[in-house]
């Protein structure tokens, strides 16, 4: 590692760098690093990913999950960095050999929010209004509630999407509340969408730290900042994703929450037009001591919910 303590790999978008700095701040607090020396002790190196480079096409056409992760994971494998910082919703369920997801920071509020150009609530949109999103999940959820809506593609970082809304390119858009909060861009007039009808993307709001599996120095450093509850929730949701072989081309949503001493999960798969959906719920009682077995059971909980959906949907389960 030369004289550096640790090198962080991140995407170069404003949100990704904000998340990388959150991770670095957590490391600094845990290990007593001098704030003024962080750029020397723990430099952040940004990488442009395929998802960042290609802006004119929907993500679903580009090959599914991993579009915002491959180049960052390659940096780890090629020893150009020691920790990769990921938005967990962008990380494929199966990692490359030689890499390990070791820590998850405390999760930000995973709700989706709606922002309107001239209205403040989704229900106030006029007939055949234009809703901007490139997410197949959000598209399906919007069309389930309002089949009359016109979906218009909307790519770009958070500020770009807000600018497009202000310019009237859409009558309304959906964004993750977590991203807006981390960029200090959360408007007071946005509508927080309920989990009942708007389950978020799997692992939305969670930041993960990935390392090389054999890098014990990095492992010791990042283990100290793991938030157990958030990591357990992510394990459930990734188990659900893996068992469904999900990608960004399939409308999948789900959320795990710790409530009353139990890990509760609800997941859903929709058709692209939102007119068909299949859901499942599972619960896992938690004990005072959380170990590797707890994480295995959490992953299996998500996989079990996916099995329920596969059984209920049968041949009708969407495959894109």
221 membership: H or E segment, kind and range: helix 216-223
pLDDT per residue as tens digits for the range 133-171: 999 999 999 999 999 999 999 988 999 999 999 999 999
With CA atoms as reference, report the closest residue to 110 among 4, 229, 262: 229
Least confident stretch, 4-18, 53-67, 262-276, 298-312: 53-67
What CATH number did the domain enclosing 85 receive? 3.40.190.10
User: Is the pLDDT reported for residue 247 higher than 70?
Assistant: no
* pLDDT cut 90: percent of the chain above it: 83
Check 82, 90, 171, 215 and give the catalytic one: 90
pLDDT over threshold 50, residue 1: no
Q: What is the mean pLDDT of residues 70-78?
A: 94
Tally of domains within the chain: 3
Instruction: Give CA separation, 236 vs 187, 203, 213, 231, in Å.
Output: 31, 9, 21, 9
On whether residue 198 sits in a domain, the answer given is: no
- Are both 233 and 222 inside the same structural domain? no
- Does residue 221 sit in the same domain as residue 233? no
pLDDT at 211: 98
For residues 166 and 102, membership in a common domain is answered with: no
Structural domain of 249: 228-313
Note whether residue 211 is domain-resident.
Answer: yes
Over residues 195-208, the pLDDT tens digits come to: 999 999 999 999 99
d(CA 58, CA 9) in angstroms, rounded, equals 25
Candidates 138, 194, 195, 128; CA nearest to 161 is 138
Kindly state whether residue 295 falls inside one of the protein's structural domains.
yes
**Pick from 110, 263, 122: which is nearest to 199 by CA?**
110
Residue 140 belongs to a domain: yes
CA distances to 4, 25, 171 from 232, rounded to whole Å, are 31, 22, 37
264 phi, psi to nearest 5 deg = -105, 135
My answer on whether 259 and 300 are in the same domain is: yes
Q: Is 318 among the domain residues? A: no
Enclosing H/E stretch for 306: helix 292-313
Q: What is the radius of gyration, based on Cα positions, of the chain?
A: 20
* Chain mean pLDDT for the chain: 92
Mark whether 251 and 177 lie in a shared domain.
no
In a domain, residue 319? The reply is no
Same-domain status, 73 and 216:
yes
186-199: average pLDDT: 95
Asked if residue 50 belongs to a domain, the reply is yes
Q: Are residues 86 and 120 in the same domain?
A: no
One domain for residues 6 and 48: yes
237 and 309, same domain (yes or no):
yes
**Bridge partners of 263?**
258, 284
Tell me whether strands 262-270 and 277-285 are parallel, antiparallel or unpaired: antiparallel
Compute, in degrees rounded to 10, the torsion defined by CA atoms 96, 305, 61, 185. Answer: -90
Same domain as 47, residue 138: no
CA nearest neighbour of 236 among 289, 306, 308, 178: 306
CB 249 within 8 A of CB 66: no
Residue 63 has pLDDT above 60, yes or no: no
Instruction: Indicate whether 185 and 232 sit together in one domain.
Output: no
Known catalytic residue: 90? yes
Strand 172-176 relative to strand 252-259: parallel, antiparallel, unpaired?
Answer: unpaired
Q: Express each pLDDT in 5-55 by its tens digit.
A: 899 999 999 999 999 999 999 999 999 999 999 999 999 999 987 666 655
Whether residue 20 is found in the same domain as residue 59: yes
Q: What are the backbone dihedrals phi and psi of residue 54, each rounded to the nearest 5 degrees, phi first?
A: -100, 105
Residue range 205-243, pLDDT digits in tens? 999 999 999 999 999 999 999 999 999 999 999 999 999
**What local confidence, expressed as pLDDT, does residue 2 receive?**
42
Q: Is the pLDDT of residue 64 over 70?
A: no
**In angstroms, rounded to a whole number, what is the distance separating the alpha carbons of residues 247 and 91?**
10
What is the CATH classification number for the domain harbouring 292? 3.30.160.40
Look at residue 61 in the predicted model and tell me its pLDDT: 55
| Range name among 43-57, 108-122, 183-197 with the lowest pLDDT average | 43-57
> Is 24 among the domain residues?
yes
Contact predicate 284/297, CB 8 Å? yes
Average pLDDT over residues 120-125: 97
Q: Look at residues 248, 275, 320 and name the one whose alpha carbon lies nearest to residue 58.
A: 248
Q: Look at residue 186 and give its three-state secondary structure.
A: coil
């Amino acid at each position: 590692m030369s004289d550096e303590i640790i090198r962080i790999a991140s995407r170069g978008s404003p949100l990704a760098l904000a998340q990388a700095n959150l991770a670095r701040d957590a490391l600094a607090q845990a290990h007593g690093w001098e704030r003024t020396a962080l750029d020397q002790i723990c430099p952040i190196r940004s990488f442009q990913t395929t998802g960042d480079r290609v802006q004119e096409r929907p993500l679903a056409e580009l090959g599914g999950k991993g579009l915002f992760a491959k180049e960052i994971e390659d940096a780890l494998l090629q020893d150009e960095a020691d920790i990769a910082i990921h938005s967990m919703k962008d990380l494929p369920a199966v990692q490359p050999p030689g890499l390990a997801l070791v820590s998850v920071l405390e999760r930000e509020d995973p709700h989706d929010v709606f922002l309107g150009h001239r209205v403040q609530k989704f229900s106030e949109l006029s007939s055949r209004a234009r809703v901007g999103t490139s997410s197949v999940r959000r598209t399906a959820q919007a069309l389930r509630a309002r089949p009359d809506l016109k979906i218009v593609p909307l790519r770009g970082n958070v500020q770009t999407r807000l600018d497009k809304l202000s310019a009237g390119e859409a009558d309304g858009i959906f964004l993750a509340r977590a991203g807006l909060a981390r960029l200090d861009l959360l408007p007071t007039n946005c509508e927080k969408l309920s989990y009942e009808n708007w389950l978020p993307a799997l692992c939305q709001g969670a930041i993960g730290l990935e390392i090389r599996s054999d890098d014990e120095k990095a492992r010791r450093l990042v283990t100290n900042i793991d938030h157990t509850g958030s990591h357990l929730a992510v394990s459930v949701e990734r188990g659900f994703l893996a068992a469904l072989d999900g990608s960004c081309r399939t409308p999948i949503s789900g959320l795990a929450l710790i409530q009353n001493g139990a890990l509760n999960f609800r997941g859903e798969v929709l058709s692209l037009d939102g007119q068909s959906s299949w859901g499942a719920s599972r619960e896992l009682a938690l004990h005072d001591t959380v170990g590797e077995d707890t994480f295995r059971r959490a992953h299996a909980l998500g996989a079990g919910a996916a099995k329920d959906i596969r059984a209920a949907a049968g041949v009708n389960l969407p495959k894109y």
